[in-house]
Amino acid sequence: MNLRITLATTRRILTQLRHDHRTVGLLVGVPTVLMVLLRYVIEQPAIFDRLGPLLLGVFPFVVMFIVTSVGTLRERTGGTLERLMTMPLGKLDLLLGYALAFGLLAVVQVAVAATISMIWLGLDLAGPVGMLLLVAVLNALLGMALGLFASAFARTEFQAVQFMPAFILPQVLLCGLFVPREQMAPVLEQISVVLPLTYAVDAMVELTRTAEVTGTLARDMSVVAGCTLLALVLGAATLRRRTP
Amino acid sequence: MSVRGLRVDRGGRPVLRGLDFDVPRGAVLGLLGPSGCGKTTLIRSIVGVQMVRGGTVTVLGRPAGDPELRRLVGYATQQPAVYTDLTVAENLRYFGSVLGASRHDADRVIAQVGLADQRGQLVGTLSGGQLSRASLAVALLGGPELVVLDEPTVGLDPLLRQELWGLFHELAAGGVTLIVSSHVMDEASRCDRLLLMREGDILADAAPAALRARTGRQDLEQAFLHLISEREGAPA
Ligand SMILES: Nc1ncnc2c1ncn2[C@@H]1O[C@H](COP(=O)(O)OP(=O)(O)OP(=O)(O)O)[C@@H](O)[C@H]1O
Ligand SMILES: [Mg+2]
């Protein structure tokens, strides 16, 4: 682990994004537009207050999953990963470099969407804004770590994009966004208990409910962080210096 | 550098079938042979990214892939491995900081490969030859002691090829060892030593002059064909 190399990697990824205005625009703009859309589709402030934060929790997760799985796949197929593996770069340097860059991006993404939601769309947030950003970053990092792990199983970018519905949609369906988890069939509720997005979304719900940092919130955030670490370790194991 | 009994399987088939050779310091070794004979596989074994089935590869006194070697070995893959959405200078800056090279070093290698006019250009917009030179520049960063280049001169015009070979010899004169693969025989004569490969075996390991003398062919391409037919027992 080498701080200089980690930061250089973060700067490299951010520079790549700086050259790609459209991707940055989409990353920051789409969640905001969807929040506006949701607000006017629902038209009932009470329901928007319930669903809005859930979506704010889901966006960074989904977006970072896609961006990371495609990004690391490009490093694998483009030969840059092979080149880096012959250099004094540790796997952790690369992973943390990605985490830092996408974590920053998630802060911007959620800050914009949350600001507009609260000021313009009238979303009520009981908890502190700082916590909202922190949970969003955790969710982004969870998406990133899962994306990195998933990319190891994709041979092509087509496959990588298809992993999104496979890895993500079941979690989105079961996380309580559409139907509260208590109302699901017991089997499905049991499944939702082991899916990390459930806790990511639950943390957002806690934040809208109360101004205090509750035990539930702390538990949710630890579960998300734990799953992120686990996925990162598994993802690191798929980055091989020697390949067949 | 020395290779002993190196055997590699890829996709369930043997690709390298027990190679033995040595490369002295400061030599320019040409790795030649038909497409698919295993040049890239051998190069990957030397830089330590290939899973090998048997044998040893020793580079600068250490086993290939040793962490100590990661600063000392420069590598350019056959497909240019640079970020197409960064400029030439940004690419070199990134790889330079990974290697711990100075920023001044990026300017040096940009000049060496003749990309000074393109330094602020996005790599994705470079011409094919410029792109492969950008990838070559990364391999020269940080002053490596061994430089391994997989077909660095493909798609370059004769003038540029001549300039690059001049650069390779200049590096070698400074004590750098170079391993350069190619399947263009006219480049063979510019190497100090040639390793002719065919189907995962070494057909010949000699200096160009020795090869000409042994086969009685002035043209290295003819010499190579002669060796193949000799090996297969047919009259040349
Ligand atoms: N990932 C892989 N899986 C299975 N077989 C492979 C793989 N990579 C290469 N091969 C096979 O190994 C053999 C040697 O390949 P290699 O890339 O080393 O050839 P090469 O000499 O570099 O060829 P070229 O001059 O065309 O670049 C080929 O027959 C190739 O089909
Ligand atoms: Mg090759």
List, for residues B5-56, the tens digit of each pLDDT value: 999 999 999 999 999 999 999 999 999 988 899 999 999 999 999 999 999 9
Which amino acid residue places its CA nearest to atom 27 of ligand 1? Answer: B35
Pairing of strands B146-150, B62-63: unpaired
Q: Does A24 touch chain B (CB under 8 A)?
A: no
> What pLDDT score does B181 carry?
94
Range of the domain at A211: 3-238
A15 domain-assigned: yes
Q: A140-181: per-residue pLDDT in tens?
A: 889 988 888 888 888 888 888 888 888 888 888 888 878 888
Nearest to B49 among A80, A85, A88 (CB): A85
Q: Taking residues A58-79, what's their average pLDDT?
A: 87
A244 domain-assigned: no
Q: A9-24: per-residue pLDDT in tens?
A: 999 999 999 999 998 8
Q: Does B70 touch chain A (CB under 8 A)?
A: yes
A150 domain-assigned: yes
Is B70 in contact with A86 (Cβ distance < 8 A)?
yes
CA B43 / ligand 2 centre spacing (Å): 9
Phi, psi angles (nearest 5°) of residue B25 = -60, 140
CA A106 / ligand 2 centre spacing (Å): 40
Phi, psi angles (nearest 5°) of residue B191 = -90, 155
Between A125-129, A222-226, B135-139, the lowest mean confidence (pLDDT) is in A125-129
d(CA A173, CA A150): 19
Looking at residue A175, the DSSP 8-state letter turns out to be T
Pairing of strands B62-63, B54-59: antiparallel
Which amino acid residue places its CA nearest to atom 17 of ligand 1? Answer: B40
A215 domain-assigned: yes
The Cα angle at residue A207 between residues A231 and A123, in degrees rounded to 5 = 115
Ligand 1 proximal residues by C-beta, below 6 Å: B 10-11, 15, 33, 35-41, 78, 183
Domain count, chain A: 1
C-alpha R_g of chain A: 18
Residue pointed to by tokens 């966004």 = A177
d(CA A23, CA A29): 10
pLDDT > 90: percent of chain A: 21
> What pLDDT score does B236 carry?
42
What are the 10-residue block averages of pLDDT along chain B, 236 residues in total? 94 93 93 92 94 93 92 94 96 96 92 94 94 95 94 87 92 94 84 92 90 86 85 62
d(CA B12, CA B8): 10
Give the three-class secondary structure for B211. Answer: helix
pTM over the 0.80 mark: yes
Answer for the pair B128, B155: CB distance below 8 angstroms, yes or no. yes
Answer for the pair A105, A17: CB distance below 8 angstroms, yes or no. yes
> What pLDDT score does B234 carry?
53
Q: Which residue of A has its CA nearest to B49?
A: A242
CB-CB neighbors (< 8 A) of B83 in chain A: 12, 16, 78, 80
Q: A181-214: per-residue pLDDT in tens?
A: 888 889 998 888 889 889 988 888 888 888 888 8
ipTM for the complex shown: 0.90
With 80 as the cut, is the pLDDT of residue A88 above it?
A: yes
> What pLDDT score does B88 carry?
97
With 90 as the cut, is the pLDDT of residue A71 above it?
A: no
Token readout for B162 is 């001549």
Residue pointed to by tokens 């004169």 = B173
Q: End-to-end CA distance of chain A, in Å?
A: 26
Kindly report the average pLDDT of chain A as a whole number. 88
Give the three-class secondary structure for B142. Answer: coil
Which residues have a Cβ under 8 Å from the Cβ of A65 and sit 6 or more positions away? A143, A144, A146, A147, A150, A164, A167, A168
CB-CB neighbors (< 8 A) of B73 in chain A: 86
Is B98 in contact with A11 (Cβ distance < 8 A)?
no
Sheet holding B177-182, edge to edge: B73-76, B146-150, B177-182, B28-32, B193-198, B201-206
With 90 as the cut, is the pLDDT of residue A45 above it?
A: no
Which residues have a Cβ under 8 Å from the Cβ of A165 and sit 6 or more positions away? none
A70 domain-assigned: yes
- Nearest chain B Cα distance for residue A236, angstroms: 16
A243 domain-assigned: no
CA B200 / ligand 1 centre spacing (Å): 10
> What pLDDT score does B101 carry?
92
